[in-house]
């Protein structure tokens, strides 16, 4: 699913109006019907409704919804904010239609002072102040109203987007001046800001309402952001040939683990094997020999000369993909060996965890990374790697996009909706996965899976796409059976076979 920006959404609205064709006011009527249906599905007519409508088309939607709810017997009080004595054409038309319908309990148009109505926990607030047309943080009377709504105990449903929240960049927004919705009914598609962790407190439950905007525009228009869908993945899963043998299914090497962190090596190795690869080699410190042999008998061990940590780069001539980083530690010898390893490895590489931290401590080496390398930082690792903290998830995402372009690397910024940043500037979000996966070792399994897929012969970009989707899918299957609370990283490996079956 493409995630268009607010400017593109505006273009998409215009394109639909012109090409369908449909008048702007009829398109608003269509949106309002979908919104009304969704509200009525959640709340019955005995809940008193207070509607706050703004001067633009978001307000127009709110006024049309008010008329429709009133026709269905809801008790509605409407406040229309027209402080600049200017309403959009569609908003003005809907004001007229609302007044003419003469079904609502009270209608107040605010041009100067506003005396807010009492809001109790039994009220439903419909927030139609501002939508995708917001162009600066809310201030003055609007910010006072937003704070009033937020401190009330009323249920809040936001039309299209919580008022005050920008569709993309909220880095410099004033966060107290954004409506905190219980339910957001967004039109046509999720907005980029809705995919980012730091905006979740405003959105509440999110529903996307299809208002049938032009499919032609949607399929033809290039878009920098998209959310991966099941079909994107299914079509990319490589078949296994009947006559394949372990020599033709690829060899993966994992450089992982140190004294006290053998588990990271175990988890990444098991996940790698479960990704369908022919052979998995593990290079790990001597201390981990017994643990690894017992925990993962399918893997071939290569012991480092050091007892406790990785210290020497190894030959990768016979290897199809390398995964490096889980549980490595950050000894100086390890740092030198990691850099040497990255320089001499000719096959595709996944860099994770401590290997990322090592790069972060030696940022000059970043320039020497081979093009096409895959980096899988979580947000903190990314901030270290980039060298600056980010003030918002949007800012971090933009930095990751920039770094992908500069390094010509694939960067998976991990989290809920992990973002795969491609060297050409596009971003693909992963929709699978759940909060049960917020547990130590989850990332190690992702590294193993992607390394395995690379060795299996997946192109780097597809190994990232399929890897993160499968990883989250396995997490979702595990959560269905076991719940989220007790989920551990080993469960992800356990459910990987089922994830493959369902996606193949």
- Please report, in range form, the residues annotated as the binding site for (6S)-NADPHX: 57-61, 131-137, 160, 264, 327, 378, 444
Given K ion, ligand ADP, ligand NAX, none, residue 444, with its beta carbon under 5 to 8 Å by kind, binds: ligand ADP
Instruction: Decide if 95 contacts 80 (C-beta within 8 A).
Output: yes
Long-range contacts of 406-409 (CB under 8 A, 24+ apart): 407/366, 407/367, 407/369, 407/371, 407/373, 408/371, 408/372, 409/369, 409/371, 409/372, 409/373, 409/374, 409/375
Whose CA is closest to 199, among 436, 396, 385? Answer: 396
129 or 282: CB nearest K ion:
129
> In the block, which residue shows the tokens 């790069």?
359
Neighbour-count burial of 135, counting CB atoms closer than 10 A to its CB (0-12 exposed, 13-18 middle, 19+ buried): exposed
Q: Which positions touch ligand ADP (CB under 6 A)?
A: 353, 378, 414-416, 418, 433-435, 437-438, 440-444, 446, 471-472
Given K ion, ligand ADP, ligand NAX, none, residue 187, with its beta carbon under 5 to 8 Å by kind, binds: ligand NAX
Per the annotation, binding residues are 57-61, 127, 131-137, 160, 163, 264, 327, 378, 414-418, 443-444
Instruction: Decide if 298 contacts 272 (C-beta within 8 A).
Output: no
Shortest spacing between CB 498 and K ion, in angstroms: 40
29 or 352: CB nearest ligand ADP:
352
Shortest spacing between CB 140 and ligand NAX, in angstroms: 8
Shortest spacing between CB 378 and ligand ADP, in angstroms: 4
Shortest spacing between CB 420 and ligand ADP, in angstroms: 11
149 or 466: CB nearest ligand ADP:
466
Given K ion, ligand NAX, ligand ADP, none, residue 421, with its beta carbon under 5 to 8 Å by kind, binds: none
154 or 446: CB nearest ligand ADP:
446
Given ligand ADP, K ion, ligand NAX, none, residue 158, with its beta carbon under 5 to 8 Å by kind, binds: K ion
Whose CA is closest to 433, among 387, 391, 480, 389? Answer: 480
Shortest spacing between CB 87 and ligand NAX, in angstroms: 9
68 or 470: CB nearest ligand NAX:
68
Q: Which positions touch ligand NAX (CB under 6 A)?
A: 13, 24, 27-28, 31, 54-59, 61, 88, 130-136, 138, 142, 159-160, 187
Question: What does the alpha-carbon distance between residue 146 and residue 138 come to, in Å, rounded to a whole number?
Answer: 9
Q: Residue with CB nearest ligand ADP? A: 443
Residues 6+ apart with CB under 8 A from 501: none
Question: 208's torsion region: left (phi>0), alpha (psi -120 to 50) or beta?
Answer: beta
164 or 436: CB nearest ligand ADP:
436
Supply 67's token pair.
């008329």
DSSP three-state, residue 149 = helix
Neighbour-count burial of 501, counting CB atoms closer than 10 A to its CB (0-12 exposed, 13-18 middle, 19+ buried): exposed
Shortest spacing between CB 189 and K ion, in angstroms: 16
Q: Which positions touch K ion (CB under 5 A)?
A: 58, 127, 131, 158-159, 163
Shortest spacing between CB 212 and ligand NAX, in angstroms: 11
Whose CA is closest to 190, among 138, 263, 132? Answer: 132
Given ligand ADP, K ion, ligand NAX, none, residue 62, with its beta carbon under 5 to 8 Å by kind, binds: none
Question: What does the alpha-carbon distance between residue 187 and residue 86 come to, in Å, rounded to a whole number?
Answer: 24
Shortest spacing between CB 347 and K ion, in angstroms: 50
> In the block, which residue shows the tokens 């009304």?
36
Per the annotation, binding residues for AMP are 414-418, 443
Given ligand ADP, K ion, ligand NAX, none, residue 397, with its beta carbon under 5 to 8 Å by kind, binds: none
Number of C-beta neighbours around residue 484 at 10 A: 16
Given ligand NAX, K ion, ligand ADP, none, residue 136, with its beta carbon under 5 to 8 Å by kind, binds: ligand NAX
90 or 444: CB nearest ligand ADP:
444
Per the annotation, binding residues for K(+) are 58, 127, 163
> In the block, which residue shows the tokens 């893997």?
299
DSSP code at position 325: -
Shortest spacing between CB 198 and K ion, in angstroms: 19
Given K ion, ligand ADP, ligand NAX, none, residue 54, with its beta carbon under 5 to 8 Å by kind, binds: ligand NAX
Question: What does the alpha-carbon distance between residue 404 and residue 411 come to, in Å, rounded to a whole number?
Answer: 6
Q: Residue with CB nearest K ion? A: 163
Whose CA is closest to 349, among 366, 380, 370, 373? Answer: 373
Number of C-beta neighbours around residue 228 at 10 A: 22
Backbone angles phi, psi at 486, to 5 degrees: -100, 5
Question: What does the alpha-carbon distance between residue 50 and residue 73 come to, in Å, rounded to a whole number?
Answer: 14
Given ligand ADP, K ion, ligand NAX, none, residue 134, with its beta carbon under 5 to 8 Å by kind, binds: ligand NAX
Question: What does the alpha-carbon distance between residue 158 and residue 153 come to, in Å, rounded to a whole number?
Answer: 15
69 or 373: CB nearest K ion:
69
Pairing label, strands 225-227, 205-209? unpaired
60 or 250: CB nearest ligand NAX:
60
* Per-position DSSP letters for 17-71, written without gaps between them: HHHTT--HHHHHHHHHHHHHHHHHHHS-TTS-EEEEE-SSHHHHHHHHHHHHHHH
Given ligand ADP, ligand NAX, K ion, none, residue 434, with its beta carbon under 5 to 8 Å by kind, binds: ligand ADP
Shortest spacing between CB 206 and ligand NAX, in angstroms: 15
159 or 264: CB nearest ligand NAX:
159
């Amino acid at each position: 699913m493409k995630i268009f920006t607010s400017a593109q959404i505006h273009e998409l609205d215009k394109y639909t109006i012109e090409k369908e064709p449909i008048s702007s006011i009829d398109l608003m009527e269509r949106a309002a019907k979908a919104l009304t249906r969704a509200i009525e599905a959640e709340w019955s007519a005995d809940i008193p409704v207070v509607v706050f409508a703004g001067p633009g088309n978001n307000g127009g939607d709110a006024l049309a919804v008010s008329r429709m709810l009133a026709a269905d017997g809801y008790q509605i009080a409407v406040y229309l904010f027209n402080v600049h004595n200017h309403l959009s054409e569609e908003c003005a038309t809907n004001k007229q239609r609302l007044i003419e319908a003469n079904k609502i309990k009270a209608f107040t148009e605010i041009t100067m002072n506003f005396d807010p109505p009492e809001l109790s926990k039994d009220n439903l607030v419909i927030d139609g102040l501002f939508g995708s047309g917001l162009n600066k943080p809310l201030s003055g009377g609007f910010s006072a109203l937003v704070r009033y709504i937020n401190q009330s105990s009323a249920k809040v449903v936001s039309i299209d987007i919580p008022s005050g929240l920008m569709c993309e960049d909220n880095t410099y927004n004033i966060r107290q001046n954004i409506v905190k919705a219980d339910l957001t009914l967004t039109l046509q598609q999720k907005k980029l800001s809705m995919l980012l962790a730091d905006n979740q407190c405003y959105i509440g439950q999110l529903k996307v309402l299809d208002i049938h905007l032009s499919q032609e525009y949607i399929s033809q228009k290039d878009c920098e952001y998209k959310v991966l869908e099941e079909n994107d993945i299914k079509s990319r899963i490589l078949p296994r040939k009947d006559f394949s043998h372990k020599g033709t299914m690829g060899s993966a090497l994992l450089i992982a683990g140190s004294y006290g962190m053998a588990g990271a090596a175990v988890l990444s190795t098991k996940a790698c094997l479960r990704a369908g690869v022919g052979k998995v080699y593990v290079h790990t410190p001597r201390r981990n020999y017994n643990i690894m042999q017992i925990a993962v008998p399918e893997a071939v061990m290569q012991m480092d000369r050091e007892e406790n940590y990785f210290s020497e780069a190894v030959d990768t001539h016979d290897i199809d993909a390398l995964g490096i980083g889980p549980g490595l530690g950050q000894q100086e010898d390890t740092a030198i060996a990691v850099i040497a390893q990255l320089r001499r490895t000719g096959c595709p590489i996944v860099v994770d965890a401590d290997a990322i931290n090592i790069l972060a401590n030696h940022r000059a080496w970043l320039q020497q990374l081979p093009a096409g390398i895959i980096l899988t930082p979580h947000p903190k690792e990314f901030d270290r790697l980039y060298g600056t903290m980010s003030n918002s998830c949007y800012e971090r995402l933009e930095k990751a996009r920039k770094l992908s372009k500069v390094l010509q690397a694939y960067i998976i910024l991990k989290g809920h909706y992990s973002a795969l940043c491609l060297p050409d500037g596009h971003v693909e979000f992963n929709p699978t996965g759940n909060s049960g996966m917020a547990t130590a070792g989850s990332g190690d399994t992702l590294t193993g899976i992607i390394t395995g897929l690379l060795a299996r012969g997946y192109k780097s970009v597809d190994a990232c796409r399929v890897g993160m989707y499968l990883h989250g899918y396995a997490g979702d299957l595990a959560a269905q059976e076991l719940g989220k609370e007790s989920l551990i990283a080993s469960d992800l490996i356990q459910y990987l076979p089922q994830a493959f079956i369902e996606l193949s």
